[in-house]
Structure formats: C-alpha cells, structure tokens
Amino acid sequence: MHNWEIAQGNSIWLALAGVLLVTFIVIGLLTKLPVTLRRPLLSFLVFVSGLFYALEYFLPTHMVLDHGVQVPENFLTDLIPNIINPLAQDLSALLFGLGLFSLMRIHFNNVVRQRSGWVNSLALLISTLSMMVFGFWSRANLHHPRWVDQVYHHLFDGVYQNMDAAMFSLIAFFILSASYRAFRIRSFEASILMTSALIVLLGLSFGGVITDKVPDYGLWSNFRIETWSSWILNIISSPGLRAIDFGVGLGGLAMGLRIWLGIEKGALFGD
Amino acid sequence: MNNTTNNEMPLLEKLQKIDRRILYLILIIVIAIPTIWPINIPNAPLPMSRDLWNTINATPPNKIVLLSSTWTKNTRGENQGQMEAILNQLMSRHIRFAISTFDPRGSQVALNLVNSVAKKYGYVYGKNWVDFGYQPNGVNYVKGISVDLIQTVKRDAVLKKPLQDLPVMKGIRNADNIQIVVEISASSSQYYWIQFLKPGVKVGFACTSVMAPEAIPYYTSHQLAGILWGAKGAYDYEQLNVEHHTGDWGSGRQYMGPLSAAFGLVILSIFVGNLAMFLSRKRTRQ
Amino acid sequence: MQHACDNWFVAFFEGALVLLIMVRIVKSMRGSIPFIRRIPGLNAIDEAIGRATEMGKPILMIPGILGLDIVSLQALNVFTHVTRTAARFATPIRMCVCDATLYTISQEVIQDAYQAEGKPELYDPDSVRFLSDQQFAFAASVAGLIQREQVAATFFLGSFFAESLIFAEVANSVGAIQVAGTVMTTQTPFFIAACDYVIIGDEFYAASAYLSKEPVATGSLVGQDYAKLLLTFFIVLGSIIYTVTGYAGGPQVPLIHELFADGGWTALLHSIRHLF
Amino acid sequence: MKITDRTIGIIAVICLIPISFGAYLYYLRFGQNGLNIFLGGLVTLAVYSTLYRENPIYRFAEHIYLGLAAGYGVVIAWSEVLSTQWYDPIFKQHQWLWLWILPLAIMAYFVFSKKHSWISRIPLVILSGFAAGTIFQGFVSQYFPQIQDSFKSLRPTIYTLQNPDPTPAAHILSISGAINNAIFLITLTSVLTYFFFSFEHKTKAIRGYAQVGRWLMMIGFGAIFGSTIMTRFALLVDRMYFILIEWMHLGHPII
C-alpha cells in the first residue's frame, strides 16, 4: 500500500478538496439520472461488491507466510483485512451519525415544543452529551484532570453497565411468567416441549442429586437424570436444530444469490 | 361436596390467570431469602468438570496455564465463580498462569478479579502471573502463539515490559509450553482455540450454560479437555477444590442455593398451572 | 474451507446447489407457478394487522438486532408487505431498528410502501426510529415503547438474541397479538413460549414467496427444496456407506467422509486413479 | 386507587433529596467504587420497576440509558473505528485514497431529501453486496463440516449394549450407540422433511414423517429452553446478590 501515500503533508487538504469536488459532480450527475437507469446502476454496484468476495473464495491460492504461519492466499485475500473490512466498518461508523441525528431530532423537537415527557427527552439529550464529552475527554491523550476520568467511570461503570446487567437479568422474570403460561399440557406439542425442558433443567440443577445414588457406570448410568438431559441435547436437539439450520443456510444462500444477481424484487432495489 | 367445588372454582380460575406481578414478587422473595441466609445444596460434579480440574491439576512446573477471560459484568453470575475457582486452584498449587481477553471491556474485569484472589495467596505480578491484555485479532493471536508466544504478544499489558524480561515467562516460548488454555467466556469464543490453536495443546471451556450444549460434541470428540457448565460448573469446581484442599467455597456454592430455589419455583409454577387447568377443566365438564 | 481450492468437491457441490436454485427461478419466471404448502405463521400476519386496525392502535415491527445483512433484508421484504396492508387501512406503524445503515434503508422502504399504495401523505418519518445500537439499551427502549403506545400487533422478524423474550413478554403483557420468526434457532423456543404465531427456521425465507407469490421468490423456494433434497440424499448415502463398511472412526476412512473436509478433492482424484 | 404518573413523578423528585444524601454517605464511606455501587443499585431498581407497570421512574431511567448508549456509540465509533482506520491513515500516514469513503457517506445522508432519497441506496447496496458475496464462503465453511458429521453408522462393531471403552479414539460402536445414531438420523431427516414447502405432503407416510419431525423439533426446542434457564437465572441471582449484599449490606459478602 506504499503507492497510496502522497509525499507532502499539506497536500492532504488539496486531496480532500478534490474528493469533495468530485463528490458533488457525481451526485449532481446522479440527480439527473433517469429513473429507469436507477435499478441497473444499483444492481451493478451490488454485483461488483459481491463479486469481490465470490472471487476471493473461488480463485486458487498459494501459500504465504503470515505471522510465522503458512496461510493460503490469493491476490484478493490480503485486501479483506486491509481494505474491505475497514471500508465497511468506516462506512457503517460514518452512517451512525444518521441514526444519531434521527434520535436527537425527535427528542430535540420534544424539548423545544414541550410535548408530554419532554423532561425525559431532555435527560436523554443531556446524558448523550455528557457521555460524549467525558468519553472523548478521558480518552484524549492530552493532559486532563483526574475528575474527568472519575465522572466517566461513574457514567459508564456506575450507571450504564449496571443498567445493562439489570436489563439482562429481567429476562429471568419473563422466563418464569412465560413458562407458567405456555407450559400447559393443552396439546401434545406443548406437553413434549414442557417435558423435555423440565428434564434438561433438572439434569442441570438438583436433578443430579435425586439420582446421585445411582451408579454412574454400566447400564445403571442410563437411570441418571443428567444422562437423560445430555441424551436429549445430543441425540434429539442437536440434529433437530441442525436440520433447521440447513434450511436456514440454504434460504440465506438463495437470498444472497438473488440479491447478488440483482433479481430480488423487494427492499433493496426499491420495487 | 358440591359446596367445596364451588368454593374451589374461583381460586382455580384465579390460579390459571394469576397476575404476572405476583409471580415476579414470589420470585424475588424466593431468591432473596437464600441470598441473605445462604443454604447449601448437595452437588455431584459432572465428569466434564472433573476432567478440566484434573488437567489443570496435572500442570508440570515447566508449563503455564493460559486463561482467556472473555466476559464482562453481564455474565458475572456464572463466569466469575468459574474463574475464581480456577484461580484458587492455580494459586494454591503454585502454577504459573497468564490471562488474556478477546473482549475490550473484559481486561479490566479479569484484572480486578485476579488481583483480589492474588492478595489471598501472595501471588506477584510478573513473577507468578502475567496479563497479555486485550487481543483484538483473535485468529492471528491464536495462530501466532502456536508458533512463537513472545513475538506475538511482545509486551505485557500491565507493566508494558518485553515478555522475555518477566520471570514468569522463563522457559515459555510457544504453545508447547502451555498445559491448557481455558476459555472463560460469555460467547462462543472457544472456536478460536478449537480451530486455530496448534493441535495437541489442550483447550478447556468455562461457559455460560446457554453455550454448553453447543460445546458438548467437542468434549466428546476430545477437542475440549473439559467444560464448566455455567453456574453448576462453578459449583462443581469449588467442590473439587475443597475435596482436594486446593481452594475454598466461593460464589459457585453461594449462588446455587438461590438458583435451585428459583428452579424449584419454575417447576412448581408449571405444576400448579397445569393442576389448576386440569381441575377447572374437569369441573366445567361436570 | 476458506477457499474453493481447499476442496474443489465442496465448491462444485455448492455450485450444484446454486444451479438447482437458479434453474427453478428461471423456470418459475417463465410462468410455471409452483405449489407452496400452507404456513400458519404467515397467514396470521394479515389477521394481526386486522386486529390492530379494529383497535385503532399501532403495529410494531423489528427487523432483528443485527446490521444490514441478508437476514434483515428479508425481514424488510416481509415488512414491506405488512406496511402496505397497514397503509390500506391507515393503521399507524412503528418500526424500531438498531443499526444506522438498516435505519437508512428502512426509511426508504417504508416510504416506498406508502407510495406504492398511493397514500404517501400517511407516511410519518418518525414512525421509523433508530433507537440504539447497543443490545439492551435497544431492548429497554422497545419495552418502554410497547407499553406506552399499547401496540396491538407486533412483528419480530430477523436475528434475535437474548432480548427476544423481553420483547415478546412485554408485548404479551399489553395483550398484543404477536407474530415472530428468527433464524437463530436457539431463540425460537422463547418465541414459541410467548408469541401467538411463530415462523420457524426457513419458513422465514419462504415468507416473501408465500406472501407476494412473486415468481423469482417462489422459484427460488422450490429450488431450495431441491437443494435440501440433495443434502438429505447425501446424508442418507453417507450413512448407508458407513453402515455397509461398518465405519466407526479410525484410520480407514470411507471416501465420502473425506469428500466433505479439506483435501476431499485430492482424495477423490487419488481414489479414481487407484481404481484404474 | 390508581396512582397517577404525576404523583409517582412528584414522589420521585422529592426522593431525590434523601437519595443524594445517601449517595454522599456512600461516597464518604466507600469512595469512588462505593458511589458506583450506589448508582448501580439505584438504576437496577428503576429498571425493575417496569415489572410492576410502565411508570415515570422507568421512563426516566430508560431515556438516560438510551442517551448514554447513544453517546457511548459515538465514542466507540470514533475511537475504535474511525480514528484508527480512517483518520490516522489519512492524516498521519497520508493514505489519501481513504478519503473516497466520504462521498459514499455523503450519499447516505440524502435519505432526508424528499426528491433524491434514492441516492442513499448507493452505499447501502455496496454494503449489501459484501454481505451477499460472503455467503458462498460462509455457507461452505458453516454447513459442510456439519454434513460430514451427520453421516452415522447403524452397524455396531461390538454386539454389547454397553461400550467398554467410551473414548472416541477406541472406534467402537455398541448396539446402543447404533440405536442413538438411528434416532439421530431419523430426527435430522424428519425435521428436514417438515421443511419441504413445495412438495405437497401427499402420502400418509410422508405426512406422518413430517409430523414426527415437528414433534422431535419441539423436544429439541424444549431442551434449549431448559438449558437457557440456568444462565438467565444466574444473572438474576447475581443481580439480587448485588442489590442485597453489595448495595444494601444485608449479609456477608463472599469475597
């Protein structure tokens, strides 16, 4: 990637101006593009960007030394970590501003127009701002007072992380109410769902204690509850899920193919 | 007779459509009581916990153990107990060890835990243990240490010193000097080790119980030397530690009490729900 | 199997699967519309929208919690259908997304859907909301939204993880009628426990063919079936060979075992050479 | 006797006074980490209050949470992606070709334009193209090892019920192992049969087989449900430990 570099430090601004100029010309041209040509253009772009990965997979490789390990590569392989991944990540990160803008716009309007709940919106705006200020400030390399780190520590570890954990642990309550409601022996299906859930749950918890006196060797081990639960997981659950996954995988393959070839009617191409 | 069933009916119907908030309140109480006044639930360690314990216990003095600690506050309930139990065993047996993480937020969590346990055993950083820090590129890291550990990691994460200058790394060059890598994880990060670590080096997996079923086939095919299955794995490990005097009880046993109570509540609530449904159905049929 | 040349057999096999799908798509485009069996979860979509219309409350859609990928694009296809139906009855919609790129395309898709129904004036840009890209912050916010707006119907389609049950139970507590489907098989049981209608496994990918009866999607669905049949055939064949040879592990590996791992192509060539 | 949201809000605001006093006490007694624990307990209770019903306290906490997450997202987007992979290469290493990401990003912002919003699709189709292109390699490396693993022998190598040496290296298949393999294959194929959409399940045998597939799938789902319960409850137990022991000091801490 040495040829990417330009010699003079200041000329980067020149390059930036050039890029922006080209951008405006291209966008200007795009706005004049006839409606009928939009879809072919989009399909072409999808095809080209998809082609990269397809070629990377299908082209033959040779062995290259990387971090002391021989790895198979072709001339596209190196571009994935160096160009394509950063490009996709940079683009997503730059687009994050869009989402942020929409969030901020809604809540800013709430505050300005004093809609009901505007205090909450204000709290949201303030907390966003303070997280950004203290996040950047405490990460900045330049010298900053110690209390900045402390405030960030309270915001992140004290409030944010604990809210994360609290939200995560809410699921336990919902599991209880969902299983109370759903695990009724109403139909045959509901009953087997319940039975296998109970056996596995018992096998993982104090079920092992119930059958602790049963020897864990020979045929006796078949009467231990943890044997049952791992049997269900390995012999029924795993092939069942695998069969579903095969279908899901093929569905994804077909969908990827349709998008790549531009024959998918739907969300992406706007028809 | 008729009278009693008439009285029963509203109760049964109520039980069937019990307000979820009452269930939640019961759950809180059922967990709170054994948390404040701990109870001990008997336990029988699983073979896969035992295998992990034995492998780590057999570490010869010329090898180290690598703990890859990829968890944060979110799964503290399971992973902290597991890691603490393993650390107890390592330190009481005077085994050298290193830690690293695949999660940027995980390194501080791991450091805090190791430091608090190390105080108990007088373990010294740099002499008895070392931190390789956050490893953003998992594949390269694992491939790299298979060949040359010192060159791949270069500097430790706490003192920022070259690895070869630390006494803990004496005689440790590559994956052959690692007795076992234990991935303590909230996700399926064990695949890094299963796929890319030099074949022959043992891998253990201490995971949340969601991930365990997925990992069991790798244990049966001996790609994993042992598995700690969620909170039960932590309890198993503590029990093995106590049996062999390599550590004390910790959060594994502490949490199993409230956990078992909660499981009991789940089972009981399913039972009561079904019973109420059956009885009221029977009534309507009459 | 990072590259095709690690095992050409596998690459050819995948090529065959792709070919099967393509052939059926072309056939279907030429006008032979195939049969598709009933999928109860998908029939429920219109029922759920109808319920929301009766109650005059909004419907909520969530296209998973991952970014822009194949799965979320498929979810958006289904949501196009939902939005168009909702637009016909002027039922308000809410869509929460947790990725900014997905947010951008969702805006476009929803706007288009209203346009296609000839009711662009009903489109409200605030109905599509980016909430957060952090899993549980997103979940907390969705839970709040469900309760505040008392949504009447919810559609959770896409990739979901632990938060699936938070959405489903909170929506259940406000009495919403729920249609859910995810490609994450480990989350399906929670949807089964808490939702009214569940789309399991690749019924999710069948949805666009089923709802739109559009030739490309329908043909592709039939092609997928043939591909699935091919996979099943090979699994049965492999098992028969194992049974006949009595293989239970060990160094004497049957060829079919080697074919599906790295170096399978070399093994195949080797054994063909050996034959003559 | 329904308490209105306004009342809850007013009570919450009044409670702020003792709460700040409590926070100060925590800070005095336990220092920085003590304050974190205090804040953590407070927000945990605020989140849990939604279990009773949607209320102003939860709403307030939710908005703060969302705000912090948004701010954190910006910090991460810059410090872990843009600064190292975009800003530094351009302005420190002068790899100016990275500037060409800018036009793509600008195009995305056209989504707010009424007339030219379609331009925003350009960067998105490029990202979708990448997603579609990876599917070929992804499908192969994810599913072919599983196909290979699904070949199962039904012929025991040793005619006893029990395998004398259960390690895989022994290469022994007992009668019960063969039966297990058969059940494995039945589950796999019957579930696959259930997911055939375009073949009408005409014969009774196929319809029955697909039905068996559905039942076996339900057993599998039940098992997943059961094995997930422990993780979720462990988190709750840990949170309760945090609230009761670390925050309220109602018992003895373990470490």
Q: Return the minimum-mean-pLDDT range out of A44-48, A68-72, C214-218, D89-93.
A: A68-72
Query: CB neighbours of B15 closer than 8 A, spacing ≥ 6?
Result: B272, B273, B276
- pLDDT above 90 covers a percentage of chain D that reads 46
Of D227, D228, D235, the CB nearest to B77: D235
In three-state secondary structure terms, A162 is helix
Alpha carbon distance B259, C267 (integer Å): 52
Q: State the DSSP H helix or E strand holding residue B98, giving kind and residue range, or none if neither.
A: strand B97-101
Alpha carbon distance A176, B242 (integer Å): 33
Band the pLDDT of B58: cuts 50, 70, 90. Answer: very high
Fill in the amino acid letter for B59.
T
Structure-token match 């789940």, residue found: B266
Contact D237 B213 (CB under 8 A): no
Alpha carbon distance B74, C12 (integer Å): 44
Selected for mutation to probe chain D from B75, B121, B210 (highest D CB count within 10 Å) is: B210
Q: How distant is the Cα of B94 from the closest Cα of chain A, in angstroms? A: 32
In the sheet that holds B202-207, the strands lie side by side as B129-134, B97-101, B64-70, B178-185, B202-207, B226-229
DSSP letter assigned to residue A109: H
Average pLDDT over residues B91-107: 91
Selected for mutation to probe chain C from D68, D153, D227, D232 (highest C CB count within 10 Å) is: D153
CA distances (Å), origin C255, targets A7, C6, C88, C239, D140 = 58, 16, 58, 12, 19
On whether the CB atoms of residues D190 and D216 are closer than 8 A, the answer is yes
pLDDT tens per residue, chain A (271 residues)? 444 455 455 678 888 899 999 999 999 999 999 988 999 999 999 999 999 999 999 999 888 876 666 778 888 888 888 888 889 999 999 999 999 999 999 999 999 999 888 999 999 999 999 999 999 998 877 778 888 989 998 999 899 999 999 999 999 999 999 999 888 888 888 899 999 999 988 887 767 677 777 776 667 777 878 788 888 988 999 899 999 999 999 999 999 999 999 988 777 776 6
Q: What is the pLDDT of residues D110-134, one digit of tens each?
A: 988 888 889 999 999 999 999 999 9
Q: pLDDT at position B113, please?
A: 92
Estimate the share of chain D in helix, then strand, then coil, as percent rounded to the nearest 5: 80, 0, 20
Contact A162 D43 (CB under 8 A): yes
Closest among C233, C205, C215 to D197, alpha carbons compared: C205
In three-state secondary structure terms, D253 is coil
A35, A36, A37, A41 alpha-carbon torsion, rounded to 10°: 90
Average pLDDT over residues B153-161: 86
Window 96-115 of C: residues touching D by CB (8 A cutoff) are 101, 104-105, 107-108, 111
CA–chain centroid gap for B64, Å, is: 20
Instruction: Please say if the pLDDT value at position D189 is more than 90.
Output: yes
Q: pLDDT at position B159, please?
A: 87
Contact C201 A248 (CB under 8 A): yes
CA distances (Å), origin B66, targets B63, B100, B101, B208 = 10, 8, 10, 19
- For residue D223, which phi and psi values (nearest 5 degrees)? -65, -40
Chain B partners within 8 Å of A179 (Cβ) = 266, 269-270
Angle between helices D121-149 and D101-108 (to 10 degrees): 100
Cβ contacts below 8 Å, chain A against chain B, sum to: 99
In three-state secondary structure terms, C3 is coil
Window 135-174 of A: residues touching C by CB (8 A cutoff) are 163-164, 167-168, 170-171, 174
Band the pLDDT of B182: cuts 50, 70, 90. Answer: very high
Q: What is the CA radius of gyration of chain D?
A: 30
Of C11, C103, C205, the CB nearest to A99: C103
Q: Is A72 left (phi over 0), alpha (psi -120 to 50) or beta?
A: beta
Contact B263 A205 (CB under 8 A): yes
Selected for mutation to probe chain B from D241, D242, D243, D249 (highest B CB count within 10 Å) is: D241
Closest among D222, C65, D162 to B213, alpha carbons compared: D222
The reply to whether D106 touches chain A by the CB within 8 Å rule is yes
Closest among A188, A55, A94 to D130, alpha carbons compared: A55
Question: What's the complex ipTM?
Answer: 0.91
Selected for mutation to probe chain A from D225, D231, D233, D246 (highest A CB count within 10 Å) is: D225
On whether the CB atoms of residues C142 and C62 are closer than 8 A, the answer is yes
User: Within 10 Å of residue C56's Cβ, how many Cβ atoms?
Assistant: 10
Using CB atoms, list chains with 3+ pairs below 8 Å to chain B. Answer: A, D
Chain A partners within 8 Å of C97 (Cβ) = 99
In the sheet that holds C128-130, the strands lie side by side as C128-130, C93-97, C59-62, C153-158, C177-182, C197-200
Alpha carbon distance C76, C63 (integer Å): 7
Average pLDDT over residues B102-106: 85
Chain A partners within 8 Å of B232 (Cβ) = 204-205
- For residue A42, which phi and psi values (nearest 5 degrees)? -60, -45
Chain D partners within 8 Å of B38 (Cβ) = 251
The reply to whether C263 touches chain D by the CB within 8 Å rule is no
Of C70, C238, C244, the CB nearest to D135: C70
Strand partners, B162: B155
Contact C166 A174 (CB under 8 A): yes
The reply to whether D121 touches chain A by the CB within 8 Å rule is yes
Structure-token match 């590259």, residue found: C3
Contact A131 D70 (CB under 8 A): yes
Q: pLDDT at position B2, please?
A: 45
- For residue B100, which phi and psi values (nearest 5 degrees)? -150, 175
Query: Which pair of tokens denotes residue C161?
Result: 């993880």
The full length of chain C comes to 276
Q: Which residue does chain B place closest to D146, by CA atoms?
A: B217
